[in-house]
Amino acid sequence: MKRIFLKSAVAACALLAFGAHAEKVIKIGTLSDYAPFEYKDASGKLMGMEIEIGNAMCKAMKARCAYVTMDFDALIPALKAKKIDAVMAQMSITDQRKRVVDFTNLFTLAPVQYVAKAGAGITENPATLKGKVVGVQSGSTHETYLTKRLPKSSSGIDMKVYQSMDQIWLDLESGRVDAAFADTTVSHDWLEKVGKGKGFDFAGKPIEDLQIFGEGTGIAVRKGDPLKGEFNLAISAVLKDGTFAAENKKVFPFSIAPAK
Q: SS in 3 state form for 80-121?
A: HCCCCCEEEEEEECCHHHHCCCEECCCCECCCEEEEEECCCC
What residue type is 132 in one-letter code? K
The predicted-structure confidence for 33-89, as pLDDT tens digits, reads as follows: 999 999 999 999 999 999 999 999 999 999 999 999 999 999 999 999 999 999 999
Give the architecture-level CATH label for domain 112-213. 3-Layer(aba) Sandwich (3.40)
pLDDT at residue 212 is higher than 90: yes
Same fold, 24-109+215-251 and 112-213: yes
Give the architecture-level CATH label for domain 24-109+215-251. 3-Layer(aba) Sandwich (3.40)
Non-local CB neighbours of 135 within 8 Å, separated by 6+ positions: 160, 161, 162, 167, 168, 171, 172, 177, 179, 180, 181
DSSP classification of residue 192: I
The predicted-structure confidence for 84-132, as pLDDT tens digits, reads as follows: 999 999 999 999 999 999 999 999 999 999 999 999 999 999 999 999 9
Distance CA 153, CA 57 (A): 45
Query: Span 166-194, mean pLDDT?
Result: 97
What residue type is 248 in one-letter code? N
Which residues are bridge partners to 27 per DSSP? 66
Distance CA 82, CA 67 (A): 14
Domains of the chain, residue spans:
24-109+215-251, 112-213
Q: Is 37 helix (H, G, I), strand (E, B) or coil?
A: coil
Residue 21: the pLDDT is 53
Give the confidence band of 13 by pLDDT, cuts at 50, 70, 90: very low
Residue 6: the pLDDT is 44
The predicted-structure confidence for 136-164, as pLDDT tens digits, reads as follows: 999 999 999 999 999 999 999 999 999 99
What CA–CA distances, in Å, run from 136 to 51, 159, 161, 178, 209? Answer: 23, 7, 5, 11, 17
Q: 188 and 36 in contact (C-beta within 8 Å)?
A: no
